[in-house]
């Protein structure tokens, strides 16, 4: 019985120490995350992104960042519509992760230079609406690291050669305050067929 009591006491002390360690570790992490969110940071949107040794798609892979993770931006290299972000992915370990305005791998927040492109998402392959006058952007998710994003659209018409039926496509374009824009196409179906002067020829659609 005496040995059992000693064993239980040791286990209780070990559990208490672990609890204290866990509490302070999580508190530190919460504090660090709050501080990171106050400054320039990115949040991973893709399931994972490779961490590269340098800002290059051919550089050595050091590991991965996962969806939902948040990192302070230490540096950035932007060329055209692509960006490489330098982060500290582990204590004292640094690497680069990739994004572009067409990939939406991550979201960029509090960017002091507004190099990020807006992101534009919809969650259904087809948009159903009564008439062309009823088109709105309530079904879209538009984000940018700065306020002032504007969205516009054009509707394109084609006739399906296989069955002779009308088909319509809507092109959304989101443009931020400094002129960076991203476009996406969605199929659209109307209860009331639009007139030809309200739509564009499908051959004019540039994706």
- For position 10, what pLDDT does the model report? 53
Q: Looking at the domain that runs over 119-204, which CATH code has it been given? A: 2.60.40
Query: Cβ–Cβ contacts within 10 Å for residue 55, how many?
Result: 20
Q: Mean pLDDT throughout 83-99?
A: 94
Among 68, 39, 80, 75, which Cα is nearest to 54's? 75
Q: Mean pLDDT throughout 76-97?
A: 91
The percentage of residues in the chain with a pLDDT greater than 70, rounded to a whole number, is: 85
Please tell me the total number of residues recorded for the chain in this structure. 207
Q: Looking at the domain that runs over 40-109, which CATH code has it been given? A: 2.30.30.40
CA 161 vs CA 26, 188, 207: distances in Å: 61, 18, 21
What residue ranges do the domains of the chain occupy? 1-38, 40-109, 119-204
Q: Mean pLDDT throughout 124-153?
A: 93
């Amino acid at each position: 019985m005496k040995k059992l009591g000693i064993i239980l006491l040791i286990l209780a002390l070990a559990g208490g120490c672990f609890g204290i360690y866990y509490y302070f570790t999580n508190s530190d992490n919460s504090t660090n995350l709050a501080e990171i969110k106050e400054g320039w940071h990115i949040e991973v949107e893709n399931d994972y992104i490779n961490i590269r040794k340098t800002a290059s798609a051919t550089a050595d892979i050091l590991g991965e960042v996962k969806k939902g993770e948040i990192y302070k931006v230490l540096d950035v290299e932007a060329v055209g519509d692509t960006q490489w972000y330098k982060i500290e992915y582990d204590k004292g370990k640094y690497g680069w992760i990739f994004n572009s305005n067409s990939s939406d791998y991550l979201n960029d927040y509090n960017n002091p230079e507004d190099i990020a492109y807006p992101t534009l998402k919809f969650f259904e392959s087809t948009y159903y609406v009564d008439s062309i006058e009823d088109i709105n952007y309530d079904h879209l998710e538009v984000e940018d690291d700065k306020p002032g994003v504007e969205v516009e659209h054009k509707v394109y018409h084609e006739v399906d050669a296989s069955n002779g039926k009308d088909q319509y496509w809507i092109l959304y374009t989101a443009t931020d305050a400094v002129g960076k824009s991203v476009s996406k196409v969605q199929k659209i179906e109307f209860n009331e067929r639009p007139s030809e002067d309200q739509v564009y020829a499908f051959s004019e659609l540039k994706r």
